[in-house]
């Protein structure tokens, strides 16, 4: 016998089920269509003809596209590393110390999170054009420096937020116990605080990686002709023509993102679930 829904079990009442179902169809149908047509044996993407992996072959044969993907992954990796360091430092500093202007610093660090992307993109364009011109013709991957700097500038505050949330659940008496047992302040930080941050560090890293990999607008304003990233490349392809090659490479990126997001969400859930007693 099926149990009937509880009084407040709104998720199991049909009007809401219908609404949730429709919303999820709305959210996912375009993505599934995109994936399906990456296997479609036709140039016209609207009608299903037959299964093929040709578009994947074509995508991998496209040197520019693969170079763009390589750039994106390199930038994302560098951004992750730098954002993780800066975000963790910022989070610990704001958590550890009392100082005048802390509220101001705290608020300032949230600006890159809320500022419209287009404004940041424009700012980076002007900055690297007029204030700090990034040398042209540097060997790879140094030529990606400007983009990495821009990405770190908006990614590290996100990391700081994740780490702060985790620090809030840290029992400060543990650090005091380490000090009491003879550890110096840095030693205590490394031995007790950092291990506690573990899951948040992984979640923050994945967050920075996805943010960097996803970003189009800011990169669009920072990238030069020889520093094309994956989204910028896809953008120009989409503007030019729609081919299943784009579907194929998008599907690959989707799979990467889904896996990373899944890991991040799981870790995040575990990190917030462990509350101090």
Closer of 140 and 262 to another protein (Cβ):
262
Shortest spacing between CB 4 and another protein, in angstroms: 7
Closer of 33 and 61 to another protein (Cβ):
33
Q: How far apart are CA 148 and CA 156, in angstroms?
A: 12
Closer of 55 and 156 to another protein (Cβ):
156
Closer of 54 and 117 to another protein (Cβ):
117
Give the up-direction half-sphere exposure of residue 98: CA atoms within 13 A in the CB hemisphere.
0
Shortest spacing between CB 127 and another protein, in angstroms: 4
Q: Terminus-to-terminus CA distance in the chain, angstroms?
A: 40
Closer of 61 and 261 to another protein (Cβ):
261
Shortest spacing between CB 57 and another protein, in angstroms: 20
Look up residue 137 and give its two tokens.
Answer: 């013709």
Residue 51 phi, psi dihedral angles, 5° rounding: -85, 140
Shortest spacing between CB 162 and another protein, in angstroms: 14
Shortest spacing between CB 116 and another protein, in angstroms: 3
Peptide bond into 141 cis (omega under 30): yes
Shortest spacing between CB 140 and another protein, in angstroms: 22
The b-or-e profile of 86-120 (16+ CB within 10 A means b, else e) is bbbebbbebbeeeeeeeeeeeeebeeeeeeeeeeb
Closer of 3 and 50 to another protein (Cβ):
3
Closer of 157 and 199 to another protein (Cβ):
157
Q: How far apart are CA 244 and CA 100, in angstroms?
A: 56
Closer of 61 and 93 to another protein (Cβ):
93
Do 71 and 228 touch, CB atoms closer than 8 A? yes
Do 42 and 59 touch, CB atoms closer than 8 A? no
Shortest spacing between CB 246 and another protein, in angstroms: 7
Shortest spacing between CB 141 and another protein, in angstroms: 18
Q: How remote is the C-alpha of 96 from its chain's centroid?
A: 27
What is the DSSP track for 165-194?
HHHTT--HHHHHHHHHTT--HHHHIIIIIH
Do 125 and 221 touch, CB atoms closer than 8 A? yes
């Amino acid at each position: 016998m099926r149990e009937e829904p509880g009084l407040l079990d709104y998720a199991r009442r049909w009007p809401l089920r219908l609404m949730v179902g429709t919303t999820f169809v709305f959210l996912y149908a375009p993505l599934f269509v995109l994936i399906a047509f990456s296997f479609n044996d036709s140039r016209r993407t609207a009608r299903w003809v037959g299964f093929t992996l040709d578009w994947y072959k074509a995508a991998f044969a496209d040197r520019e596209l693969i170079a763009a993907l390589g750039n994106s992954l390199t930038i994302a990796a560098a951004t992750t590393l730098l954002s993780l360091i800066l975000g963790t430092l910022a989070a610990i500093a704001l958590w550890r110390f009392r100082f005048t202007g802390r509220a101001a610093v705290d608020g300032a660090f949230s600006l890159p999170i809320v500022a419209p992307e287009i404004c940041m993109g424009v700012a980076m364009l002007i900055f690297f054009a007029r204030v700090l011109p990034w040398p042209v013709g540097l060997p790879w991957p140094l030529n990606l420096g400007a983009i990495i700097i821009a990405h770190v500038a908006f990614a590290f505050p996100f990391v700081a937020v994740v780490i702060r949330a985790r620090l809030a659940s840290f029992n400060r008496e543990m650090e005091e116990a380490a000090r009491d047992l003879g550890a110096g302040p840095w030693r205590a930080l490394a031995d007790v605080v950092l291990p506690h941050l573990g899951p948040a560090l992984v979640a923050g890293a994945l967050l920075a990686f996805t943010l960097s990999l996803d970003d189009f607008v800011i990169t669009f304003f920072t990238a030069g002709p020889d520093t094309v990233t994956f989204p910028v490349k896809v953008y120009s392809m989409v503007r030019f023509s729609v081919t299943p090659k784009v579907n194929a490479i998008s599907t690959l990126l989707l799979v990467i993102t889904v896996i990373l997001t899944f890991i991040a969400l799981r870790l995040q859930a575990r990190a917030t679930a462990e509350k101090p007693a």
